[in-house]
Amino acid sequence: MATAEEASVRPARRRVGRPRLRPAKGWLALPPALYLLGLLILPIALLSLYSVFLLTNLIGVTNVFSLSAWQDFFPSNPFTWKPWSTESVFWNRFTLSMCVTLIVSLVVTTMAYPLAYFLAFVSERRRYVFLFILLAPFFTSFLLRVLAWQVMLNDSGVINSALWQLGILSDGQPLEIFGMGIFRTWFSVGLVLGYSWIPFVALPIFVVLENMDRRVIEAAQDLGASRFMTFLRVTLPLSLPGVIAGFVFVLIPTTGEFVTPQLVGGTDTYMFGQAIQDLFIGTAISWNTGSVLAIWLMAVVVVLIAFSSRFLVMDLREGTE
Amino acid sequence: MNPTLGRWGKFGLGTYFWALVLFLYTPLVVLLVFSFNDSTIATLPYSGFTTKWYGRAFDNQEMVDAIMLSAKIALLNSLFATALGVVGAIGLSAGRLFGRSAITALLMLPLVVPYIVLGIGMLILINQVNVDQSMWVVLAGHIVITVPYTILVVLPRLRTLDDALPEAARDLGSSDVGAFFRITAPLILPAVVSAMIISFIISFDEYAIASFLVPPGDKTFPIFVYGGTKVPEQRPELLAIGATVIVISLCVVMIAEFGRGWLERRQTGRDSLAAATAE
């Protein structure tokens, strides 16, 4: 009945001369788009001008196009380049930071997968409550959580003093893991970075697992696959988009991270983001060099996004109709 | 019935999940516990219960000022970012939109640009146009990073709305704007409120961008906390204020989440009731 009515109503309405069924409201996307053009794209454009000396904050230097900052950044001969060489220090910083972020991202994604699996397949009806429990701490202040880790990890901190009290370590001797102390080392930096990101990595994996067609799993088992084989050959491959999205979710923000290594890291854990910060507001100011590093960081992120974009913004791209 | 895991598998996975939850909450609990510790250093054994750090923390004018400043920025940010986000979400939900993927990419871009790039980008921008670092610049930066979140919260809710509703309002003589405020706005209100809360929280907690843009001497709350982590004498007070902020924000998040669920359920209930009556 309803469809027949609709069919008779719609043409009639067009005839009375309504040019469109709904207003063109697409232009409403413009205000935020313009805002971001001015305060996001324009600054990035200025950074790229700085990186080639078309702009500079140095006094007495005229703005002449020059690639010298870029040349200084890259190692002159990539084939003889060694991570420990003193040539191109910022490039070394970059590769070292990248290695650390990759390791952290891999570990965090691996650790987050079982969480997502538990939420999607085991927790049944309370899954959203459990998901909320998992995510809730991360709506509290990031700096305060890092402060809490400082309190726990430092040499006379909660962890060390607890171990002294329990007699596991002799008094005054701080804990060491993998031959390094637990504070102001790569261990503490990795730990706090991982701590910060695990729930966010679990989220996209959970969404994919949750929306997976359960019948394919049943089909695999009906056809005689063991539980393990079902996971390996069916569930895991189907959940890879979520895994990749999660991996990128942690990789991108940690690549430019400078706050965590400042607060729980030491002199050995100086990361690429800290180098950029120091070049802009720190001790060794050079905005031109800093811009090269920042643009390079952006470029790396853009490449990462390009490789993974179809896993990231899938549901936004779809039209509404 | 779950065909994917045996009983032991389920048990193991459950144990793992709760162990990780424990890991996630331990720092928060430690902060809370040691904020009542009667000692200037947070170390075991526990020296006894005291609330004096709370008293001292709230007597600390610098900290109160920092909290007020951050609250001000966060409040303005939640208003502006949500306004831009709602407008943007309506734009993106339009049936026809020229350059949809480019605009979507631009609006989501702040989610993936490293904060350090945003911070220094804004810094050289204001330097270029001869504007000094100020709280307004911090606010402008925070709006950049929170707009995508507000869109992500509002857009799905807009999509679930029945297009016939505003259309009916217009057929009955309402203007586009009138239809929005009388039909669409009340229906997306729960999502708008969550968007405001989320953008408030993000701004209140934001350190990385603010660290480049605050004028020397002024302190937002995260910048105050950051400075405090470097001064051991300030630590007990910092723990007290940290515990307070964490407890408050956990409460707000819980109320927001369950409140939104409740409101949306109530509305869906009404919608389906209306649908049932219509039939």
Tally Cβ neighbours within 10 Å of residue B217.
5
H or E stretch at B6:
none
Cα–Cα dist B240/B234, whole Å: 10
At residue A93, the pLDDT reads 87
Instruction: Tell if the CB–CB gap between B147 and A122 is shorter than 8 Å.
Output: no
Instruction: Tell if the CB–CB gap between B44 and A137 is shorter than 8 Å.
Output: no
Instruction: Tell if the CB–CB gap between A22 and B101 is shorter than 8 Å.
Output: no
Tally Cβ neighbours within 10 Å of residue A35.
19
Instruction: Tell if the CB–CB gap between B24 and A137 is shorter than 8 Å.
Output: yes
R_g of chain A computed on alpha carbons: 26
With 0-12 / 13-18 / 19 or more C-beta atoms within 10 angstroms meaning exposed / middle / buried, residue A18 is exposed
Could you tell me which CATH number the domain at B56-278 has?
Answer: 1.10.3720.10
Does A224 map to a domain? Answer: yes
Does A287 map to a domain? Answer: yes
- Report the SS3 class of residue B262: helix
Q: Looking up tokens 């045996």, which residue turns up?
A: B6
Tally Cβ neighbours within 10 Å of residue B47.
14
CA A27 to chain centre: 31
Whether the complex's predicted ipTM is more than 0.85 is answered with no
DSSP string, A40-51: IIHHHHHHHHHH
Residue A177 main-chain phi, psi, to 5 deg:
-125, 135
- Say which of A144, A151, A253 has its CB closest to residue B34: A151
The verdict on A199 touching B (C-beta cutoff 8 Å) is: yes
At residue A2, the pLDDT reads 46
List CB contacts (< 8 A) between B27 and chain A.
Answer: 145, 148-149, 151-152, 195
Question: Best mutation site among B40, B122, B124 for testing chain A: the one with the most A CBs within 10 Å?
Answer: B124
At residue A3, the pLDDT reads 47
pLDDT tens-place values along chain A, 321 residues long: 444 444 444 444 444 444 444 556 788 889 999 999 999 999 999 999 998 888 777 776 777 788 888 888 887 776 666 666 667 788 888 988 999 999 999 999 999 999 999 998 888 778 888 988 888 888 788 888 988 898 888 887 888 888 888 878 777 777 787 778 888 889 999 999 999 899 889 998 998 998 888 888 888 888 888 888 888 888 888 899 899 989 988 898 888 889 999 988 888 888 999 999 999 888 778 888 899 999 999 999 888 888 887 766 554 444 333
Q: Where are the domains of chain B?
A: 56-278
Chain A to chain B, count of Cβ pairs less than 8 Å apart? 288
Residues in A 17-56 with any Cβ partner in B closer than 8 A: 21-33, 35-37, 39-44, 46-47, 50, 55
- Say which of A47, A117, A256 has its CB closest to residue B13: A117
Question: Best mutation site among A1, A14, A20, A39 for testing chain B: the one with the most B CBs within 10 Å?
Answer: A39
| Residues in Cβ contact with B83 at an 8 Å cutoff, skipping those fewer than 6 apart | none
Instruction: Tell if the CB–CB gap between B205 and A142 is shorter than 8 Å.
Output: yes
Question: Best mutation site among A109, A143, A164 for testing chain B: the one with the most B CBs within 10 Å?
Answer: A143
Domain count, chain A: 1
Distance from CA of A181 to the nearest CA of B (A): 17
Q: Which domain holds residue A281?
A: 90-312
Q: Which amino acid, A103?
A: I
- Provide the CATH number for the domain around residue A255: 1.10.3720.10
| Residues in Cβ contact with B13 at an 8 Å cutoff, skipping those fewer than 6 apart | A114, A117, A118, A122, B5
- Say which of B20, B235, B246 has its CB closest to residue A141: B246
Instruction: Tell if the CB–CB gap between B88 and A319 is shorter than 8 Å.
Output: no
Instruction: Tell if the CB–CB gap between A22 and B167 is shorter than 8 Å.
Output: yes
Nearest C-alpha in A relative to B211: A281
At residue A17, the pLDDT reads 44
Does A234 map to a domain? Answer: yes
Q: Return the bridge partners of A176, or none.
A: A181
The verdict on A230 touching B (C-beta cutoff 8 Å) is: yes
R_g of chain B computed on alpha carbons: 24
pLDDT tens-place values along chain B, 279 residues long: 455 677 788 888 999 999 999 999 999 998 888 888 877 777 777 777 878 888 888 888 888 899 999 999 999 999 999 999 999 998 988 777 778 888 988 998 898 889 999 999 999 999 989 888 899 999 999 999 999 999 999 998 888 887 777 778 878 887 878 888 888 888 888 889 889 988 998 999 899 999 999 998 889 999 999 988 887 777 788 888 888 888 988 888 788 777 777 777 776 666 555 555 554
Does A247 map to a domain? Answer: yes
- Say which of B3, B30, B115 has its CB closest to residue A151: B30
Distance from CA of B76 to the nearest CA of A (A): 16
Instruction: Tell if the CB–CB gap between A39 and B113 is shorter than 8 Å.
Output: no
Residues A204/A242, Cβ–Cβ less than 8 Å: yes
Distance from CA of B132 to the nearest CA of A (A): 15
List CB contacts (< 8 A) between B176 and chain A.
Answer: 23, 25
- Say which of A32, A140, A290 has its CB closest to residue B250: A140
Does A36 map to a domain? Answer: no
Nearest C-alpha in A relative to B214: A281
User: What is the biggest distance separating any 2 CA atoms in chain B, rounded to whole angstroms?
Assistant: 73
Residues in A 109-148 with any Cβ partner in B closer than 8 A: 111, 114-115, 117-119, 121-123, 130, 132-134, 136-137, 139-148
List CB contacts (< 8 A) between B91 and chain A.
Answer: 25-30, 32
Q: B115-148 burial by CB neighbour count: b if 16+ within 10 A, else e?
A: bbbbbbbbbbbbeeeeeebebebbbbbbbbbbbb
The verdict on A294 touching B (C-beta cutoff 8 Å) is: yes
Q: Looking up tokens 């929170």, which residue turns up?
A: B146
Q: Looking up tokens 């924000």, which residue turns up?
A: B249
Nearest C-alpha in A relative to B200: A139
Distance from CA of A125 to the nearest CA of B (A): 12
Cα–Cα dist A139/A196, whole Å: 11
Q: Which pTM value belongs to this model? A: 0.83
Nearest C-alpha in A relative to B110: A40
Residues B53/B38, Cβ–Cβ less than 8 Å: no
